[in-house]
Chains A and B, each alone.
Chain A
């Protein structure tokens, strides 16, 4: 029987084939949830779904799109924000 800490579902299971053709269960940390647009809740493109330790070693340009509100709003919602900004100026 697996240990109590492995039964809680905190860690994800990975079934690995060993050289002796047996299957062995490895427990690994679950990945964080997908990044989502703050306005329309759509999944964001260009934001990797990695553990924080990996994200820390990545360059800033690899972590989010290079535009205002990149990694927070989707491109369509960002355009809406910009249009409002332009029309409210005048």
Chain B
């Protein structure tokens, strides 16, 4: 009769769970058993287990909660499945959320600004046109006035 019966407490010898205690839940064949407890719940070769003296009262294919209850009596900490779910990436979610929040607020602001700018630009351009047009006309008039007397003076000198 083999030592590896259902309910036998074992120490895991090999792999990353080595040094942790587990219970045999199910016998697959001569060399393989299913195991749960402080280790991960998984199929294991018997060579990777060292049997201990104690045998727990556990049904075959017992759930993780039943195993946990049995281990609490022995005061052994059980491997917690839920610790893996915590390790998600919160940063990506935050970025998406911030974009969606900003978009509706920012869009109307920009539109308002653009309209204001356009109006301001139009007003400024009108003023500028008015300013630019006026001096050009004056300059031309001045030039014309300046040009005519010079010509007259020259002609007068020639005559003299």
Contact = CB atoms under 8 A, between A and B. Distances in A.
A85 B11 contact: yes
Interface stretch (B14-22, B87-95, B98-106): B14-22
Interface string A59-90: 00000001110000001001100110111011
A32 to B, nearest CB: 26
Nearest to B21: A86
Contact of A86 (B14, B15, B16, B50): B50
A28 B97 CA distance: 52
Interface of A is mostly: helix
Contacts of A78: 18
Contacts of B15: 67
A82 B13 contact: yes
Interface of A: 66-68, 75, 78-79, 82-83, 85-87, 89-90
Contacts of B18: 67-68, 78-79, 82
Nearest to A84: B50
Interface of B is mostly: loop
A7 B16 CA distance: 46
Interface in B1-43: 11-16, 18-19
Contacts of A90: 52-53
Interface string B53-90: 10000000000000000000000000000000000000
Nearest to A80: B13
A12 B112 CA distance: 71
B11 A82 contact: yes
Contacts of B19: 68, 82, 85
A67 B16 contact: yes
A68 B52 CA distance: 20
Nearest to A69: B18
8 contacts: A67-B15, A68-B18, A68-B19, A78-B18, A82-B12, A85-B11, A86-B11, A86-B13
A68 to B, nearest CB: 5
A37 B52 CA distance: 28
A86 B12 CA distance: 9
Contacts of A66: 16
Contacts of A89: 52
Contacts of A83: 13, 50
